[in-house]
A and B are shown apart, each in its own frame.
Chain A
Amino acid sequence: MFFKPGLLENRLYLVVDDFGDMRSMMKNMLMACGVREIQLARNGNEAIELMEQERFDVVLCDYNLGAGRDGQQVLEEAKYRHLMGLGSVFVMVTAENTRDMVMGAVEYEPDSYLTKPFNKDFLKTRLEKLIAKKHDLLAIEEAVEKRNYTKAVAILDEKIAAKPANCNELRKIKGNILLNSGKLNEAKTLYQEVLAIRELPWARLGLGKCNYLAQDFQQAIDEFQRIKSQNPNYTPAYDWLARSHKRANQLSEAEDILKEAVSISPKAVPRQQLLGEIALVNQHQDIAESAFTKAVQHGRHSVYKHPANYANLARVTADNHDGPSALQVLKQIDKDFSKDPKADFYQASAESLIHEAMGNSDLARASLEKAAELQKSFDQIEDSECAIELAKTYKNFGMEEECVELMKGAILNNHTDEELMDEIKLTISSLEMDEQTLGTIDSIREEVFALNRKGVELAKSGQLDEAAELLKETSTRMPANRTVNLNIALVLLMSMEREGPSPGMIDEIKGYLARVAKADPNNTTLQKLYGRLKTMLSKTSDSSEQSREKT
């Protein structure tokens, strides 16, 4: 047991609760534990403002905070925006009736739930344990933050080998790291080892994710289904089940699962968003309207707020009701987003269609132009979403050529992204377009594969300059394509390894790698190339120092 004195005292605490009595009671309890630095917040907004100013070591946050953000949303925002340090502790305080509700939230979990009422001795014990645990895991978190997954796994293996009481907790962390770094086979083995001893939902979920990521959707569905039947309240299984059905092109199954999930836990914005999107494709306008309404409503104070939900809600409203109500929905974007070009884009894109349907042709054209201009200004590397949104709008205006152009660009830039390819196929079928008008998705993809293959073959046969030339030319047509960017970086690295480094080329390599890092920082090839670049640079700096010594 951990009785080290001073574990609690010299730390900065934040207490968030909308009840004054509760705040002062918590403050008293903490002071009785010897804590001196305590700040209080009355609601989510105050909490976030304080967290922007200071790094708290411990946050005790009530789940129910009245109007505005709830505790889960405070946690999500704090984690998403990195408002808390790696070693800091977030405790969610709940009344027992919110327990099921908070169980639905999983992307960001608090370090602990604490059910009211509790006394100061209990609080002290719990906090001591949490702080000691965080301290123990700090080196792992730091390694993960620096994307040094090998190191993180090595530290974990060492700890697991000692067979501590929290062994499975360490295995759970390790499984997540393996999944995130693409080591699917190792992750699978780990989850199977855990499941051989005991059926645990998180391990089964991990196993399902391995199958999902390996594109074995039927097996993934089986695993997620098994969790769902054994633990009907474990909503993450529903989300993954729905995603798997979607990828397996079983859209009505996906919709049904999500409908069940939102009835258990309605506040998860991404869940409502996915339900809305799938219901739209299935042409269930009522379901879509209800889902997007909730996505907008619950998203307002959340990091998951997305203008696409407003645009979709507006379009569904126009279909189900009338134009003026739809425009009213879009007005809400002005209130909920400030100076966000993406929000302006979605607003303009949806507005153009609604105006057109209402017979306001001039207004429709003006909005469409605005949307097109904004989309052009966006970084293609980050953004295929807006390209597809605009393509849909073009199609609805009958502007086939512009629509095809955008779709083609999205495919060229992301030809290995299976999920996006599925999305594009869905879009094409929902727009009742002929895939042939694009020259078929597969033939476009094949063209990119062929160009990359040719570049790599040239490089292998030693024709590095020719390879670089071909790939760079390809890159001008598809600047965001990861494979192309990685191959250019590789070829340039090879030529520097052969001919010696040049500062211009180093910058060039860094530029191409940065494009990939922006969209896919965990990409394993990217990490390898960064490593190779670093090794080469350190070698050359050694040799230049040596040569300086000689002179």
Chain B
Amino acid sequence: MNFADILASLIHDMKNSLGLVINTIDDLGEELQVHENPKLGTLQHEARRLNDNLIALLSLYKIDKGQLSTNIEEIDVEQFLYEISVDNQATANHLGITINYESEEGLVGYFDEWLMRGVINSLIGNGLRYSSSQILIHAASVDGYLVLSIDDDGDGFPQNMIDAQTAQQHKKPQQGETQLGHYFASLVAHMHSNGEREGYIKLANNQRLGGGCFSIWLP
């Protein structure tokens, strides 16, 4: 057994423990019957981030070994965003942040639900660190692409990150991108293709909520 395989199998095990930790924290929140508790929020938030990162790590490992291919399904986008907002709401509440979602009615997307959920959860995890009171996840159909965006009302991305991306927007993702989360999102976006077109990511500031806006464009 090589080191990478040992790592992968340990990650699975860690994920199981984390799953129990996350659910127990949720239970604790229920028992305490408080809606805003920053300490509980931090616990929950960090545990979820660990989990998101482990999912990203495992997926990257599989992509690296050529073992991960997308399972493209037809997704009811409104339901998808609703589930994600519900999933993250309790944690956000404890941190004093509200999560809203918006989608055109009847919007249908074609993507790997599990991978995209991992990506968006990890982006929301980022957003929770930088936003001051709100996060908005929204979806729209633009030029034949499904655009999934995560907006916050924080200070936005540093200008050099925004500048850096224009040059490489449609290129294959490069390792060494500023954040693991962005690298993962970019890889997953590129794994989604329709005919000749591939997916990509885009960073912007001052969009819907005045802060950063991370969007994933899927063909």
Residues of chain B with a CB closer than 8 A to A232's CB? 69
The stretch of A114-122, A137-145, A402-410, A538-546 in contact with B is A114-122
Q: Is A125 an interface residue (CB 8 A)?
A: yes
In the bound assembly, the distance between CA atoms of A126 and B26 in angstroms comes to: 18
Determine whether the beta carbon of B76 is less than 8 Å from that of A166: yes
Q: Is B142 an interface residue (CB 8 A)?
A: no
Residues of chain B with a CB closer than 8 A to A95's CB? 12, 15-16
Residues of chain B with a CB closer than 8 A to A125's CB? 82-83, 86
Answer whether A117 and B22 are a contact pair too, CB < 8 Å, given A32-B30, A198-B194.
yes
Residues of chain A with a CB closer than 8 A to B12's CB? 95, 97
Q: Is B6 an interface residue (CB 8 A)?
A: no
Residues of chain A with a CB closer than 8 A to B16's CB? 95, 116
CB contact between A119 and one of B23, B55, B82, B114 (< 8 Å): that residue: B23
Q: Is B90 an interface residue (CB 8 A)?
A: yes
Q: Is B210 an interface residue (CB 8 A)?
A: no
Residues of chain B with a CB closer than 8 A to A181's CB? none
B116 CB, nearest partner CB in chain A, Å: 12
A77-103 contacts to B, CB under 8 A, are 95-97, 99-100, 103
Answer whether A96 and B83 are a contact pair too, CB < 8 Å, given A165-B78, A165-B107, A200-B74.
no
B102 CB, nearest partner CB in chain A, Å: 13
Q: Is A169 an interface residue (CB 8 A)?
A: yes
Determine whether the beta carbon of B19 is less than 8 Å from that of A122: no
Residue among A25, A165, A201, A232 with max Cβ neighbours from chain B (10 Å): A165
Determine whether the beta carbon of A168 is less than 8 Å from that of B114: no
Q: Is A28 an interface residue (CB 8 A)?
A: yes
- The closest CB in chain B to the CB of A117 belongs to B19
Determine whether the beta carbon of B69 is less than 8 Å from that of A233: yes
Determine whether the beta carbon of A126 is less than 8 Å from that of B83: yes
Determine whether the beta carbon of A169 is less than 8 Å from that of B22: no
Determine whether the beta carbon of B27 is less than 8 Å from that of A122: no
In the bound assembly, the distance between CA atoms of A32 and B26 in angstroms comes to: 11
Determine whether the beta carbon of B27 is less than 8 Å from that of A117: no
Determine whether the beta carbon of A119 is less than 8 Å from that of B20: no
- Residues of chain B at interface, number, CB under 8 A: 36
Determine whether the beta carbon of A103 is less than 8 Å from that of B76: no
Determine whether the beta carbon of A121 is less than 8 Å from that of B89: yes
A97 CB, nearest partner CB in chain B, Å: 5
B70 CB, nearest partner CB in chain A, Å: 8
- The closest CB in chain B to the CB of A194 belongs to B74
In the bound assembly, the distance between CA atoms of A231 and B69 in angstroms comes to: 8
Answer whether A119 and B15 are a contact pair too, CB < 8 Å, given A21-B20, A166-B76, A168-B74.
no
B206 CB, nearest partner CB in chain A, Å: 30
In the bound assembly, the distance between CA atoms of A168 and B72 in angstroms comes to: 13
Q: Is A161 an interface residue (CB 8 A)?
A: no
In the bound assembly, the distance between CA atoms of A147 and B205 in angstroms comes to: 58
Answer whether A165 and B108 are a contact pair too, CB < 8 Å, given A95-B12, A97-B12.
yes
Q: Is B71 an interface residue (CB 8 A)?
A: yes
- The closest CB in chain A to the CB of B21 belongs to A117
Residues of chain A with a CB closer than 8 A to B86's CB? 121-122, 124-125
CB contact between A164 and one of B51, B71, B106 (< 8 Å): that residue: B106
B69-114 contacts to A, CB under 8 A, are 69, 71-72, 74, 76, 78-79, 82-83, 86-87, 89-90, 106-108, 110, 114
Determine whether the beta carbon of A119 is less than 8 Å from that of B22: yes
Q: Is B40 an interface residue (CB 8 A)?
A: no
Residues of chain B with a CB closer than 8 A to A231's CB? 69, 72
Residues of chain A with a CB closer than 8 A to B58's CB? 96-97
Q: Is A199 an interface residue (CB 8 A)?
A: yes
Residue among A100, A103, A124 with max Cβ neighbours from chain B (10 Å): A100
Determine whether the beta carbon of B55 is less than 8 Å from that of A165: no
Q: Is B60 an interface residue (CB 8 A)?
A: no
Answer whether A165 and B76 are a contact pair too, CB < 8 Å, given A119-B22, A119-B26, A231-B69.
yes
Q: Is B18 an interface residue (CB 8 A)?
A: yes
Q: Is A1 an interface residue (CB 8 A)?
A: yes
Q: Is A301 an interface residue (CB 8 A)?
A: no
Determine whether the beta carbon of B114 is less than 8 Å from that of A99: yes
Residues of chain A with a CB closer than 8 A to B90's CB? 119, 121
Determine whether the beta carbon of A116 is less than 8 Å from that of B194: no
A161-216 contacts to B, CB under 8 A, are 163-169, 198-201
In the bound assembly, the distance between CA atoms of A115 and B83 in angstroms comes to: 13
In the bound assembly, the distance between CA atoms of A99 and B117 in angstroms comes to: 14
In the bound assembly, the distance between CA atoms of A120 and B74 in angstroms comes to: 25
B71 CB, nearest partner CB in chain A, Å: 6
- The closest CB in chain A to the CB of B117 belongs to A115
Determine whether the beta carbon of B110 is less than 8 Å from that of A198: yes
Interface set of A (CB-CB < 8 Å, partner B): 1, 21, 25, 28-29, 32, 95-97, 99-100, 103, 113, 115-122, 124-126, 129, 163-169, 198-201, 231-233
Other A-B contacts than A25-B23, A115-B117, A165-B76, 6 sampled, CB-CB below 8 A, are: A99-B71, A117-B19, A121-B89, A122-B87, A125-B83, A199-B195
Interface set of B (CB-CB < 8 Å, partner A): 12, 15-16, 18-20, 22-23, 26-27, 30, 51, 55, 58, 67, 69, 71-72, 74, 76, 78-79, 82-83, 86-87, 89-90, 106-108, 110, 114, 117, 194-195
Q: List 7 A-B contacts (CB under 8 A).
A: A117-B23, A117-B51, A119-B90, A121-B90, A167-B108, A168-B108, A200-B72
Which 3 pairs across A and B sit closest by C-beta, in order of nearness?
Answer: A117-B19, A121-B86, A165-B76
